[in-house]
Amino acid sequence: MPSLDSNGVRIHYELAGPDDGVPTLLLHGFASDAQLNWGGTRWIETLTGAGRLVVAPDLRGHGQSDKPHEASAYHEDAMAGDAARLLEHLGIKEADVVGYSMGARLSLRLAAGSSERLGRVVLGGLGTQGAVQQAESIAARLRGERGPGDPVADTFYQFAGSRPVNDLEALACCIVGLSESPPVDARDLRVPVLLVNGAQDVLAGGGRELAARLPDGRFLELPGRDHLSAVPDRRFKDAALSFLDE
C-alpha cells in the first residue's frame, strides 16, 4: 500500500482513476478515513467516473496512517502540510480539493498556505462554529472520562469507538491540537470555494456566514440532512462536480 514519509509521520494514501485525469484531493473528517468517508459513500466512484484522478490520504491519526500521541502533531499547519507534501511527492502541480468537516478545515488551511497548488475547493460540514470549540470535553470523553452529559462528546465517542482501527488517544490529541491552531482568515483566500452543509447539521453552525466571508464563495444547503447524512447525498456530489468542472 502506498505511503509517504511526511516529516517522520507515515501517511497512507490511495489513488484511483485515470492517470491523466484532473487531480482531486479528498480530505476526510475526524475519526473517519479515506475509505469510510469517500469510498463507502461512493465519492471515489463518482469522481473517477467523471474522469478525475482521486488522491485520498488517511490523515495523520486516522486509518492506516501513523497515530502520534502528542497534541502538537495535529496542529492544522502540520496536517495541511502532509497534504501539500503528498501532492509534491506525486508530482501534482495543481489539484482540486474536496474536504469534509475536519478535512474542510484543513482544506481552508491548505488554500491559505499553498494556494498555488489548488484549483477549486469544495467544503462540507463546516461553519463558523463547530465541534473543535468543544475539544476538551470531546478529548476527555475519548479518554474514557464521564463528566456531565455532553451529547456532542458522547456522539464522537460512540462513532470513534465503534471502529477498531481508531486509536482513541490519538484522536483525543488530534481534536486538542486542532483547537490550538490559529484560525484562517477566510478573507485571504483567493480560490473559488463551494461550501455545502446539511440543513440539520448542528455541528457546523454558521456555514452560510462563512461562505459569505470568502472572496469567491458559494453556499448550498441540503434540506433534511445532518452532519453524517449529508456526505453520501447525491445533491452534494452533483453540485460538487458541476462546480469543479466550471
List the beta bridge partners of residue 221: 197
**Does 219 fall in a domain?**
yes
C-alpha span between 34 and 85 (Å, rounded): 17
Q: Give the position of cell 463547530.
A: 130
- What is the residue range of 10's domain? 3-131+184-244
Tally of CB atoms within 10 A around 5: 11
pLDDT of the residue at 149: 66
User: Residue 169, class by beta-carbon neighbours within 10 Å (0-12 exposed, 13-18 middle, 19+ buried)?
Assistant: middle
Count of structural domains within the chain: 1
pLDDT tens, position by position, 102-146: 999 999 999 998 778 899 999 999 999 888 888 999 999 999 987
148 is a domain residue = no
Contacting residues for 227 by C-beta, under 8 A, at least 6 apart: 101, 125, 198, 201, 202, 203, 204
Three cell numbers at 73? 502533531
Report if residue 7 sits inside a domain: yes
pLDDT, residue 190, reads 87
Predicted local distance difference test score (pLDDT) of residue 164 = 94
Does a structural domain hold residue 169? no
What type of residue sits at position 4? L
Residue 142 lies in a domain: no
Q: Tell me the C-alpha distance between 224 and 159, whole Å.
A: 21
Q: Does the residue 150 lie in any domain?
A: no
Rounded Cα distance between 126 and 82, Å, is 21
Q: Is residue 160 part of a domain?
A: no
pTM for the predicted model, two decimal places: 0.97
Element (H, E) at 47: helix 43-49
Asked if residue 190 belongs to a domain, the reply is yes
Q: Are the CB atoms for 195 and 119 separated by under 8 Å? A: no
pLDDT of residue 130: 80
Q: Looking at residue 14, which CATH number applies to its domain?
A: 3.40.50.1820
pLDDT for the residue 180 = 94
Q: Tell me which residues of the chain have a pLDDT lower than 50.
A: none
